[in-house]
Structure 1
Amino acid sequence: MPSPRPLTFEIVDPHSEDGARVLVRYYADIVGRYWGRAATPAETENAMLDEPSDHLRGDGGFLVLVRDGADAVGCGGVRIVEPHVGELTRIYLDPVVRGRGAGRALLSELEAISIRRGIRTLRLTVRQDLVEAHGLYRRSGYEPVEAFSTSPYADHFLAKELEPLEGAP
């Protein structure tokens, strides 16, 4: 059996064709996990309307697309919440690439881009039912912090201090 292709990463606009497509899969996944069943198209659409991804471009943040060859197989974003502080969001990987180190690789890419953009702290919230994600974040150095959100979907609050690039202020 041939070894899997290396994953690549690309910053995209959330409204681009591939960006929008993978965000639909992200929302379908988190809505389905929340309800314990497959999400309906209407539920997915409503979640996307309730929590749009417009802030993941320009000065508001960025969205990274994960590619396996030409296929968009995941995404992750960072929303800038204040100077030097970003918040991880929209972290998703298609089941076909899970278990290949894709989650850790995506986090590393998001952290590297964040550092280049002057972010020193990355924080995130994670729901109780997203056990795999919570484990990945903890293994990657994200530690529990005081609550910084009143979202009903935030069960755990984590943060990580990033190491600045050599020679950066």
Structure 2
Amino acid sequence: MARVTWIFSPERVDTPDATALRRDYYDEVASRYWKRPATAAEIDEGLADDGAELLAPPTGDFRVARFGGEPAGCGGVLLLGEDRAELTRVYLRPAFRGRGGAGALLAELEDAARALGARRTVLNTRLDLIEARSLYVRHGYAEIPAYCTGPYMEIWYGKELFPAATA
């Protein structure tokens, strides 16, 4: 029996898989916030002019996670300065959670941040996204002072990046 593994690849945010994953991400976080299902129009509005085009070199990176060949998750890295990068749109579809992909996706995004020259990663999230907050803390992120503001930003985390381990 073949072992199913996670595969991560850089991808433009406008490919069909990346677009579908970004829509699923926005649907989940918006629906949880509004405590009702988001409509397709609300998702379209939320994704319009959201800055995702910056998640490409030289200002960033966007990765698609696949499990057994199926698009399962995504995440982005955005350079905020010479040596600091923000993790954003970190998401795994519910059907793929609990299979080790979230931690692997974080490690992949950290490697992408290093490749862009970052020595520190930061991120922001909402207090109600408890699973995400637990994931970040489990992987070495600590609460930091706010580095940005916005309507859906309630808690901020940061992590120093060390050179990637070599095998």
Deviation (angstroms), 1:70: 2.3
Sort the Cα spacing of 1:95 and 1:114 in 2 relative to 1 into closer, same or farther, 3 A: same
Aligned to 1:95: 94
Q: Is the 8 A contact 2:142 2:159 kept in 1?
A: yes
Mapped to 1, the partners of 2:49 and 2:13 lie a distance apart of 15
Deviation (angstroms), 1:113: 2.0
Q: Is the 8 A contact 2:58 2:116 kept in 1?
A: no
Identical pairs, percent:
36
Q: Is the 8 A contact 1:78 1:110 kept in 2?
A: yes
Aligned to 2:25: 26
Partner SS, residue 154 of structure 1: coil
Deviation (angstroms), 1:3: 8.2
Instruction: Specify every segment of 5 or more residues in structure 1 that has no aligned partner in the other structure, as ranges.
Output: none
Mapped to 1, the partners of 2:70 and 2:7 lie a distance apart of 10
Q: Which runs of 4+ in 1 moved over 2 A?
A: none
After superposition, what is the alpha-carbon deviation per residue over 1:72-130, rounded to whole angstroms, capped at 9, x for unaligned?
11101001111111000011101111011111110011112222322100000010111
Sort the Cα spacing of 1:75 and 1:134 in 2 relative to 1 into closer, same or farther, 3 A: same
Q: Is the 8 A contact 1:115 1:162 kept in 2?
A: yes
Aligned to 2:14: 15
Mapped to 1, the partners of 2:51 and 2:148 lie a distance apart of 17
Aligned to 1:114: 113
Q: Is the 8 A contact 2:147 2:156 kept in 1?
A: yes
> Which residues of 2 match residues 74-89 of structure 1 at below 5 A?
74-89=73-88
Partner SS, residue 82 of structure 1: coil
Partner SS, residue 138 of structure 1: helix
Q: What's the C-alpha RMSD, in Å, of the aligned pairs?
A: 1.6
Q: Is the 8 A contact 2:9 2:64 kept in 1?
A: yes
Deviation (angstroms), 1:48: 0.3
Mapped to 2, the partners of 1:63 and 1:26 lie a distance apart of 14
Instruction: Specify every segment of 5 or more residues in structure 2 that has no aligned partner in the other structure, as ranges.
Output: none
Partner SS, residue 149 of structure 1: coil
Mapped to 1, the partners of 2:134 and 2:69 lie a distance apart of 29
Deviation (angstroms), 1:69: 2.3
Q: Could you tell which deviates more after superposition, 126-135 or 31-40?
A: 31-40
Q: Which amino acid aligns with 1:83?
A: E
Mapped to 2, the partners of 1:35 and 1:67 lie a distance apart of 29
1:144 aligns with 2:121: no
Aligned to 1:37: 36
TM-score (norm 1): 0.92
Partner SS, residue 145 of structure 2: coil
Partner SS, residue 54 of structure 1: helix
Report how many aligned residue pairs link the two structures.
165
Aligned to 1:159: 158
Deviation (angstroms), 1:50: 4.8
Q: Which amino acid aligns with 1:94?
A: R
Partner SS, residue 105 of structure 1: helix
